Structure 1
């Protein structure tokens, strides 16, 4: 039971779109990610996803609209909702993600950035 310094954790990795686990809370994992540009369109059939923007601006695309999520804000994507997170202007965005340990990184979609597990940092 010690504090986790987010700045130190972000400084410890550089890979974009590859979330890093910093802790778990019951059956949920807390992840940090650095993202840039568009991700892949995907959905999670059984899990909601929480995205909190720590640095920058995230654009959460849905099929009918795009929500702008600014630094200090968060958005929850309900299970079954197709979405595609992205950034603009080549901006690197830092995210904190809160999701079930069983979640598939890109749902049923397979992409070069799909991960089957998240390293703990």
Structure 2
């Protein structure tokens, strides 16, 4: 077996597209995904799973129907399953998502922001 670390900055340098998560690792049935975001995303929810947002660079706002949370660099937030939310970033923000394999970025919604799933870098 080859033992090799995963360099997050190197992985982030391999793509420029936004709102399109890229898988960098798996653990059991969970995937670690990197994504670059800027501007508004769509309102959506994940009916069967929680979702973890970890801000690596920048600032991210996650709006809920009854409030919002602001995440700064180095902070994380867990969104409980079945809670409608809408991420937003004024400037480009690099985040890591941790979620079960097969989760679609827009939940049950299908829009122009729905990304291809299970794309590895």
Confirm or deny a common fold (TM above 0.5): yes
Name the counterpart of 1:45.
47
The alignment's TM-score, normalised by the length of structure 1, stands at: 0.95
- Which 5+ residue runs of structure 2 have no aligned equivalent? none
Name the counterpart of 1:20.
22
Name the counterpart of 2:109.
109
- Aligned-pair distance for 1:98? 0.3
1:7 is paired with a residue of what secondary structure? Answer: helix
Give 4+ residue runs of structure 1 displaced > 2 Å after superposition: none
Task: Tell me the distance in 1 between the aligned counterparts of 2:7 and 2:104.
Answer: 26
The alignment's TM-score, normalised by the length of structure 2, stands at: 0.95
Q: Is the 8 Å Cα contact of residues 23 and 119 (structure 2) preserved in structure 1?
A: yes
Task: Tell me the distance in 2 between the aligned counterparts of 1:105 and 1:16.
Answer: 12
Name the counterpart of 1:98.
98
Q: Is the 8 Å Cα contact of residues 18 and 118 (structure 1) preserved in structure 2?
A: no
Task: Tell me the distance in 2 between the aligned counterparts of 1:20 and 1:100.
Answer: 14
CA displacement 1:31-85 (0-9 Å, x = unmatched) = 0000000100000000100000000000000001110000000000000000000
RMSD: 0.8
How many equivalent residue pairs? 119
- Aligned-pair distance for 1:97? 0.5
1:80 is paired with a residue of what secondary structure? Answer: coil
Task: Tell me the distance in 2 between the aligned counterparts of 1:115 and 1:14.
Answer: 14
